């Protein structure tokens, strides 16, 4: 009898020791969000005070058309078996070439009436990254950011040095006048007028601190990539550089978890390393992509007064696009599925 009881006791100990481990591996949150897709792509054109009553029907139609063209450009590359890095670069170039978004052609003006642009690029397979800051003659900053990743020994190049590197490797440059748009110039004049009347600092006016474009993609080989490009803040001073070219804040990609591009008030995204924090919650906290993204954007960031959002794709092709501002230009595409949004999450 004692022998039988001893055997039963040790059998129970064995089961108790093994079963919890099995349950821990089978995370319900993970399995319910694991919807593997052969490829996926997500984009954004900036977050902020984007309200339907402030956008004409004609302008909304034009913005949606550019977002659709950008998504379709990346989707076709992925559908044909192309690399996520190529999809990210080509997609962002479409957005950079549009005056509707605060990047490249549509870049805002700084305090001195100049355009200073930043961009970053990251490969999820290698975690290699490239970024540029404060350039004023690069037609497509995202191309230069990717070139820093692939053709230099560095991660971040800025100002004249970045532009010299661009000349050496043949990246297209343009006269600074290429970036001038009247709507952005008028925004600068309004910012200066408000500053003169109220004395607010350049980084405290909500209407002037938003605007970025970005893309994240998963290809058929399981590789993730992400990129971000921006003109920064309207009326910014002192060669200010925001989160967009900061790896882990504005951009992050890791094949083990996800690829992310951020948009919002950059100072907060840098302080709380937003993109990396989402990755870390997934890698170490075993949170699902949506759960991690929601926590960082809707709690961590918001509790500290930070505003903005992210778009991203995880290693299974799941898409997350949380934001804590009134609106965010955004969209995603998978096989046989494509959606574009501008305003609230319920549209």
Q: Is the pTM above the cut of 0.85?
A: yes
Residue 28 has pLDDT above 80, yes or no: no
Q: How many domains does the chain fold into?
A: 1
pLDDT band at 27 (very low <50, low <70, confident <90, very high): very low
**Does some domain include residue 2?**
no
Q: Over the chain, what is the mean pLDDT?
A: 88
- Summarised one tens digit per residue, pLDDT across range 211-240 is 799 999 999 999 999 999 999 999 999 999
In a domain, 100, yes or no: yes
In a domain, 6, yes or no: no
Residue 238 within any structural domain of the chain: yes
Determine, yes or no, domain membership for 304. yes
Which CATH number belongs to the domain containing residue 126 in this structure? 3.60.20.30
For residues 109 and 185, the answer to whether their CB atoms sit within 8 Å is yes
Beta strands in the chain (DSSP E): 40-48, 117-123, 129-135, 156-158, 213-218, 224-230, 251-253, 258-264, 308-314, 319-320, 327-334, 337-341
- For residue 4, pLDDT over 50 is answered with no
What pLDDT score was predicted for residue 344?
81
Query: What is the token pair recorded at 126?
Result: 């290698």
Where in the sequence is the domain holding 271, given as residue range(s)? 40-341
- Say if 279 falls within a structural domain: yes
What are the pLDDT digits (tens) for 60-77?
A: 999 999 999 999 999 999
Q: Given pLDDT bands bounded at 50, 70 and 90, which one contains residue 198?
A: confident
Strand 129-135 and strand 156-158: the pairing is parallel
Kindly state whether residue 16 falls inside one of the protein's structural domains.
no
- The whole-number pLDDT of residue 310 equals 98
Which pLDDT score, from 0 to 100, does residue 36 have? Answer: 85
Residue 199 confidence class, pLDDT cut points 50, 70, 90: low
For 37-54, what is each residue's pLDDT tens digit?
Answer: 999 999 999 998 888 888
The DSSP result for 273-331, as a single string, is THHHHHHHHHHTT---HHHHHHHIIIIIIHHTT--EEEEEEETTS-EE--BSSSEEEEE
Whether residue 114 is contained in a domain is answered as yes
Active-site residue list? 212
């Amino acid at each position: 009898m004692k022998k039988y009881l001893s055997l039963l006791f040790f059998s129970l100990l064995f089961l108790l020791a093994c079963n919890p481990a099995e349950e821990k591996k089978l995370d319900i949150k993970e399995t319910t969000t694991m919807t593997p897709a052969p490829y996926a792509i997500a984009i954004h054109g900036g977050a902020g005070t984007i309200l339907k009553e402030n956008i004409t029907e004609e302008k909304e139609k034009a913005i949606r058309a550019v977002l659709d063209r950008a998504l379709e450009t990346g989707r076709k590359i992925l559908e044909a078996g192309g690399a996520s890095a190529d999809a990210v670069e080509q997609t962002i170039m479409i957005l950079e070439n549009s005056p509707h978004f605060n990047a490249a052609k549509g870049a805002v003006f700084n305090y001195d009436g100049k355009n200073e642009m930043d961009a970053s690029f990251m490969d999820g397979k290698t975690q290699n990254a490239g970024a540029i800051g404060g350039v004023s003659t690069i037609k497509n900053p995202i191309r230069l950011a990717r070139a820093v990743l692939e053709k230099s020994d560095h991660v971040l190049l800025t100002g004249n040095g970045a532009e010299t590197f661009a000349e050496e490797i043949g990246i297209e440059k343009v006269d600074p006048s290429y970036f001038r748009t009247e709507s952005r110039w008028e925004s600068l004049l309004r910012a200066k007028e408000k500053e003169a009347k109220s004395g607010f600092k350049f980084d405290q006016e909500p209407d002037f601190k938003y605007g970025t474009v970005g893309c994240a993609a998963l290809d058929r080989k399981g590789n993730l990539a992400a990129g971000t490009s921006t003109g920064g803040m309207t009326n910014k001073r002192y060669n200010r550089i925001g989160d967009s070219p900061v790896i882990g804040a504005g951009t992050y990609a890791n094949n083990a978890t996800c690829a992310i591009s951020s948009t919002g008030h950059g100072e907060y995204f840098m302080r709380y390393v937003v993109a990396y924090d989402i990755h870390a919650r997934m890698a170490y906290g075993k949170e699902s992509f949506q759960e991690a993204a929601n926590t960082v954007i809707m709690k961590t960031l918001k509790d500290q007064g930070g505003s903005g959002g992210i778009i991203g794709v995880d290693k299974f092709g799941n898409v997350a696009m949380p934001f804590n501002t009134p609106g965010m230009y955004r969209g995603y595409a998978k096989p046989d599925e494509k959606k574009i949004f501008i305003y609230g999450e319920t549209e």
